[in-house]
Amino acid sequence: MTQPTRWPELRHEDWSPTQQTLHLWTQVVGKIRLRQEPLVNHWWNVTLYVTPRGLTTSAMPHASGRTFAIDFDFVARELVIQDCDGARRSFALESMTVAAFYERVMRELEDLGLHVAIDPRPNEIPDAIPLDRDTLHHTYDADAAERFWRVLLQADRLCRIFRARFLGKVSPVHFFWGSFDLAVTRFSGRIAPPHPGGIPNLPDWVTREAYSHEVQSVGFWPGGYGMDALFYSYAYPVPNGFEAARVRPASAAWNAQLREFVLPYEAVRRSSDPDAEVLAFFDSTYEAAADLAAWDRSTLERR
């Protein structure tokens, strides 16, 4: 059996219509988790997680006393809903409108006796169409979606290594369906100034909960708005001089539009040691942010 490419090509222009559709499908599923889970600091209760086959909500409680999960299985190319009593529903991940996907998910949940009501307005997307009425986005290339997930596998693995080196408060490695990126966040332990907000279709109080404390965050974003896939690193609040910090590797740079450091995914996949490139990026940008903001590194880091 031929081994799949661990670092596949992922040019945004090659799969942009599929990415837009998949982004909105994950919002349907993510909003179900948002509805079912009690609030956890910084919205950690709403995220999806990378699995050996795709993305999952993980186990979610239901008012019926049952527990259920929803999985994007990019290997079998299907969406799967399962509950704790052994019931299972699935349907193929193939080209369909966002409205049709929304209707199918809700119908399958109702058939399982798992009633869930969500706000159909997408988050963090300008000029968004309600999910239950979106017939514009419908393209789905299963091969492209699988390539995206295979990149997530590598990003998730490296984010876990980065996470393990920190003794202070640190988030899980998780996938945010609003911004459509994989992230892990370290905390200094200090309260941050109120975030200015201004994110499209996201109330400012939601953003302020997410950034209530001082952070340094790294992750992977598959691209958009004219940019290809990249690894990123940012701090909030941005410490003075952060944009001028010397970071590794040489292909990393400060992006004034995003106000964060970026490392092009294409440079990583073409390097002789992708793992070393990404971890050097994560480590050097963290060190710059922590030093400039005077974090107590001696108590926060695992030596």
For the ranges 222-226, 228-232, 241-245, 248-252, the lowest mean pLDDT is seen at: 222-226
What's the mean pLDDT when you consider all of the chain? 97
Same domain, 149 and 295: yes
pLDDT tens digits, 130-179: 999 999 999 999 999 999 999 999 999 999 999 999 999 999 999 999 99
Q: How many Cβ atoms are within 10 Å of 174's Cβ, its own excluded?
A: 22
119: Cβ contacts below 8 Å, ≥ 6 apart: 31
Domain assignment present for residue 126? The answer is yes
Domain assignment present for residue 4? The answer is no
pLDDT tens digits, 243-255: 999 999 999 999 9
235 pLDDT more than 70: yes
How many structural domains does the chain have? 2
User: How far is Cα 217 from Cα 170, in angstroms, rounded to an integer?
Assistant: 10
Same domain, 106 and 224: no
Same domain, 115 and 152: no
Residue where one domain finishes, among candidates 133, 162, 194: 133
49 pLDDT more than 90: yes
Residue where one domain finishes, among candidates 133, 163, 185: 133
Domain assignment present for residue 185? The answer is yes
pLDDT band at 3, cuts 50/70/90? low
Domain assignment present for residue 160? The answer is yes
Domain assignment present for residue 2? The answer is no
Domain assignment present for residue 74? The answer is yes
Domain assignment present for residue 20? The answer is yes
Same domain, 107 and 191: no
pLDDT tens digits, 81-114: 999 999 999 999 999 999 999 999 999 999 999 9
Q: pTM of this prediction?
A: 0.97
Same domain, 208 and 240: yes
User: How far is Cα 101 from Cα 80, in angstroms, rounded to an integer?
Assistant: 13
User: How far is Cα 197 from Cα 215, in angstroms, rounded to an integer?
Assistant: 16
Domain assignment present for residue 6? The answer is no
The greatest distance separating any two alpha carbons of the chain, rounded to the nearest whole angstrom, comes to 56
Same domain, 150 and 292: yes
192 pLDDT more than 90: yes
Same domain, 166 and 284: yes
Structural domain span for residue 233? 142-300
Same domain, 42 and 128: yes
Same domain, 159 and 126: no
